[in-house]
Amino acid sequence: MRAYKTQMEAAKKGIVTPEMEIVSQKETMPMETLISRVAKGEIAIPANINHTSLSAEGIGTGLRTKINVNLGISGDCKNYEQEMEKVKLSIDFGCEAIMDLSNYGKTNTFRKELIKISPAMIGTVPMYDAIGYLEKDLLDISAKDFLKVVEAHAKEGVDFQTIHAGINRRTIEAFKRQKRLTNIVSRGGSLLFAWMEMTGNENPFYEYYDEVLEILREYDVTISIGDALRPGSIHDSSDAGQICELIEIGDLTKRAWEKDVQVLVEGPGHMAMNEIAANMTMQKRLCHNAPFYVLGPLVTDIAPGYDHITSAIGGAIAAANGADFLCYVTPAEHLRLPDVNDVKEGIVASKIAAHAADIAKGIPGAREMDDKMSDARRRIDWEEMFSYAIDSKKPREYFESLPPADRHTCSMCGKMCAMRTTNKILNGEKVEIK
């Protein structure tokens, strides 16, 4: 029997957990620093007591920026094998979190297998699963019914749950006054909004928030407080609806910490580049430096098919200015369920953004691999360069597709390679081009 219910409770009591030991070692962060920040809520270690295959990760101040991959079964694509292939790809690339966003049928078939094999943190959005799990239409679901789904996911071993508790009567009033261009683009948020409007009731996750926290505390599930009113276009970013909900989330964050439940705060969305830094500062201030989890943000709305790039640009800026956790975006965003290649492209783009931000933030050791890559480039050691790459397969394929006559160069420069020329001169050798 553990002497604590959650990682936060353990930290407040000065207890070093096995998960803290793992995070401290991975991050080379002194234990006293880690335990202090977990106790304050500035670092979360999502680790459900029933997720036995987990390799714990920390999210928050002073740690590497983590990335999340969205997967799951939908009504239009019920291919369990393909989704599991995406899971294995995500694990191979070292992604720290996988969110199962399944919204079709009895979703726990896929989720239970995912939890069984995944060393990555597992997240879910119980709202997506409510209709299938409860076998009721939206209007027929009661407030307490929604809590049953939260508990079912917690029991299965989910490490963090996105719960849209910040959308309530007050924030809906602000949203309606704003007259947005793209209204509500959060799937879970839109379903809750519809339920509230149809029934005339308050958001059950807000009304029964203390009961939700008790469920999460029992299994040490981190609450990821969803941003139902996140902007779905750069036109709507930083508007009254978004900020009003963020203020509510700040209060909900403190209430969760009082019950020793760890918190992630979810953020935008779509946002022009010049607004991102200010939004990160505002979130950290209003939400008491809780770890910030952002989708993108996408910095333009006109690049369907390339939104992994628009997201990576925004994600790099966001993380460099304080975001702690990036949700990947694939080229298929806004268009279809991503295939395996889309997932790979989204992962690589997000890892580039996260790593670039860690360099900018001065995370210890972040530049080490870049320096090794640069040294290998100077020596023109192709095998070593491939080994340091985020995706080692793609650069090898590019290089081998048009190989140079001289393996100490590439086919772009040939014998005019700047590295080759400089190396020869510094070694006292004669440079011959012909």
- The model's confidence at residue 133, banded by pLDDT at 50, 70 and 90, is confident
Annotated binding-site residue? 266: yes
Q: What is the pLDDT of residues 243-283, one digit of tens each?
A: 999 999 999 999 999 999 999 999 999 999 999 999 999 99
99 is an annotated ligand-binding site residue: yes
Q: Given a cut of 70, is residue 419 above it in pLDDT?
A: yes
Tell me the pLDDT band of 183, cut-offs 50, 70 and 90.
Answer: very high
226 is in an annotated binding site: no
With a CB cutoff of 8 Å and minimum separation 6, the contacts of 239 are 178, 180, 231
- Round to whole Å and give the CA distance between 429 and 424: 5
Known binder of ligand: residue 327?
Answer: no
Distance CA 262, CA 310 (A): 30
From the list 53, 65, 91, the residue with the least C-alpha distance to 358 is: 65
Residue 297 has pLDDT above 80, yes or no: yes
51 assigned binding-site residue:
no
Is 213 assigned a ligand-binding role in the annotation? no
- The reply to whether 228 sits in an annotated binding site is yes
For the residues 205-222, what does the mean pLDDT come to? 98
Q: What is the mean pLDDT of the chain?
A: 95
pLDDT digits (tens, 9 = 90+) for 61-87: 999 999 999 998 766 666 788 889 999
Question: Which domains, and CATH codes, for the chain?
Answer: 37-361 (3.20.20.540), 368-426 (no CATH)
- Does pLDDT of 26 surpass 90? yes
355 is in an annotated binding site: no
Q: Is 235 among the annotated ligand-binding positions?
A: no
pLDDT, mean of residues 86-96: 97
Q: Is 306 annotated as a binding residue?
A: no
**Residue with the larger pLDDT of the pair 20 and 78:** 20
For the segment 339-363, the average pLDDT, to the nearest whole number, is 97
Q: Is 95 annotated as a binding residue?
A: no
Q: Look at residue 16 in the predicted model and tell me its pLDDT.
A: 98
d(CA 76, CA 104): 9
pLDDT at residue 106 is higher than 90: no
pLDDT tens for 1-18 read 799 999 999 999 999 999
What pLDDT score does 76 carry? 62
Task: Output the pLDDT for position 148.
Answer: 96
Tokens 């094998």 identify what position?
Answer: 81
pLDDT at 104: 67
Weakest-pLDDT range from 81-85, 106-110, 140-144: 106-110
Per-residue pLDDT band for 185 (boundaries 50, 70, 90) equals: very high
**270 is known to lie in a ligand binding site:** yes
CA gap 52, 220 in Å, rounded: 13
153 assigned binding-site residue: no
Task: Provide the angle, in degrees to the nearest 10, between the axes of the packed helices 31-40 and 18-27.
Answer: 120
417 is in an annotated binding site: yes
What's the rounded mean pLDDT across residues 115-139?
92
Q: Name the more confident of 119 and 104.
A: 119
Could you tell me the two tokens for 336? 């279809």
Distance CA 267, CA 309 (A): 18
